[in-house]
Chain A
């Protein structure tokens, strides 16, 4: 890179953002000179130019929102808004400002962790004092694994709503048994405490910041990729065969076949790690196989290579023996393969309104989107709208067709793949199970507080001032919600009062 390129890129900002209005207007004139045929022209442009146009239109609309103008600029702004809406409709999206349902921070955290299959180390001050108390008293191996009844824990019940967390329960129990923490601790542990337990269960060494608690092939994205291939593999292959490489040539069918095989088997769509293999024996492949010690007596040039044999070579790291080459002896171009990003159609914030919060990570809520369309188009329209002093309303672009699973360009007809992942027995079974595990987060937190009162009394634990203060704050918060458990809150209030009084007495002595 030549020096000073960044400074040149931001020359306008450095010069106090004085726009080159003439050039700007010329481009706008070109867009607006025949806006009735805008979409026809837009369709045939490459994605870079399409993104540039979207950005330009968006900037005009945003500028107008900030400082309304008159004359030509106002006309541009109105026209730009119409054109943007036509692009959104073309991509199968529409702007949504309704039906938002806020989730608790803990619930959001669980959704994120399940989605990535990873967990971060918790900071000490994020752990509850009761958990720290019981951790200090732990006696490794003292209790049996069956003593750890995870569902006796209100916090774990929040985790238990998700299939992924249910799947790690045996590992968690095993870890708890090894550490020998008192099983009564489960009843009072917070979501953060359990995050720490999961982190400790799966950490390999003490220096790790993040650990995977799910195998990569079990992450939400991998599961979704596999589901697409299972239910719409043929359609996806057809969609890919229409794509072109960077130099304009069509994607080679061998590239598409190898890619589909990788996604289907491993749920992995990382183009860089893809090895494109021959689908028919070639002279070179037979020679390489022979040199590697394989019996090639039955292999004939031009005959299909059995898929089981291809998979065997991949699994045993020998796929390069049947690496595919073009007629010039070069490796095949895979630049036309999509590098997608996982997009949640209904945001985390929308969850909870439906049946279960686990639904946010369901395959039928995920769409694999071309990265630029994802970041520079769909998320471009994310908004936090302030209404009054406190209330916030979010707005975002949502895909209208619930069956859209892949979006590789702006054209919702030609660049997209549709597949109903909701109405299959596998999915329905999971949904039913999730519904059975559904709990209300705030109910669980009340139950936990109630347990705290019991456990603190049972073990005569001296609470720190910070706990009493925090307890009063939580109490006030819960009392302000409708249908709170009055008896439970009375018990907690009594406990806090007792602890507070004993602290005061201790001080006066």
Chain B
């Protein structure tokens, strides 16, 4: 099952359709910030859902919506080193560790790594942040 199937019946708010230019801007700024390019599995997902917000759960995208803007949130929120923030809920952050090339669910209060997922397990990582565990 894909993560997209998990959210399709939910009353979610999503960002505007992804523009190629917006994705380039996001990638460029994230690199300027000393981070890295977004993983391919995640950019593929952004073409489907360019940011999601639902009941206190946020998945970020290259969107002008301040709540879901990946650049704004990576600037504003604390997160572990060598990671790009991709989403968050009340308890955890969803990060992409670009050194280890893996998705991580990280505890918001002490940055303890709760779960790790390979690049091809992005759906599981998104489901984990979406179910607030």
A residues near B, CB below 8 A? 1, 3-7, 9-10, 13-14, 16-17, 100, 102, 105, 108-109, 111-113, 115-116, 118-121, 123, 207-210, 270, 272-273, 341-344, 347-349, 371, 374-375, 379-380, 382-384, 392, 394, 396
**Given A10-B29, A374-B56, A392-B110, do A116 and B131 touch, yes or no (CB 8 Å)?**
yes
Interface of A is mostly: mixed
CA distance A100 to B21 in the complex (A): 44
Closest to B33 in A: A13
Give bound CA distance, A45 to B55, whole Å: 26
Q: Does B22 contact A (CB under 8 A)?
A: yes
Question: Do residues B90 and A341 form an inter-chain contact, with CB atoms below 8 A?
Answer: yes
Question: Would you give the 0/1 interface string for B30-64, flagging 1 where the beta carbon is closer than 8 Å to chain A?
Answer: 00110000000000000000000001101000111
Question: Judging by beta carbons under 8 Å apart, are A120 and B11 in contact?
Answer: no
With A112-B132, A116-B132 as contacts: A349 and B109 at CB distance below 8 Å: yes
Q: A3-B21, A116-B132, A210-B130 are in contact. Are A16 and B32 (CB under 8 A)?
A: yes
Asked if B19 is at the interface (CB within 8 A of a chain A CB), the reply is yes
Q: Within the complex, which residue of B22, B114, B132 is in contact with A115, where a contact is CB–CB below 8 Å? A: B132
Q: Which residue of B lies closest to A393 (CB)?
A: B110
Least Cβ distance of B131 to chain A in Å?
4
Name the one of B25, B33, B64, B107 contacting A348, with C-beta atoms under 8 angstroms.
B107
A-B contact pairs, 12 of them (CB 8 A): A3-B21, A9-B69, A108-B91, A112-B132, A120-B131, A120-B133, A208-B1, A210-B6, A210-B127, A348-B91, A384-B111, A392-B110
Q: A120-B124, A209-B3, A343-B90 are in contact. Are A6 and B11 (CB under 8 A)?
A: no
Residues in B whose Cβ lies below 8 Å from that of A102: 110
Could you tell me if A375 and B124 are in contact, using CB atoms closer than 8 angstroms?
Answer: no
Partner of B56, one of A5, A342, A348: A342
Return chain A residues, CB-CB under 8 Å to B112.
105, 108
Chain B residues with CB under 8 A of A112: 91-92, 132-133
CA of A13 to CA of B69, assembled, Å: 13
Q: In whole angstroms, how far apart are the Cα atoms of A441 and B64 in the complex?
A: 45
Given A7-B22, A210-B6, A382-B108, verify A341-B56 contact (CB < 8 Å).
yes
A118-B131, A210-B127 given; name 8 further pairs at CB < 8 Å.
A1-B16, A10-B25, A108-B107, A270-B11, A341-B55, A347-B108, A371-B67, A392-B110
Contact (A14, B114) CB under 8 Å given A112-B132, A348-B91: no
Report the minimum CB–CB distance from B33 to chain A (whole Å). 8
Give bound CA distance, A121 to B124, whole Å. Answer: 8
Please list the 3 inter-chain residue pairs (A to B) with the smallest Cβ-Cβ separation, ordered nearest first. A6-B22, A207-B1, A209-B127
Which among A115, A116, A374 has the greatest number of chain B C-beta atoms within 10 A?
A116
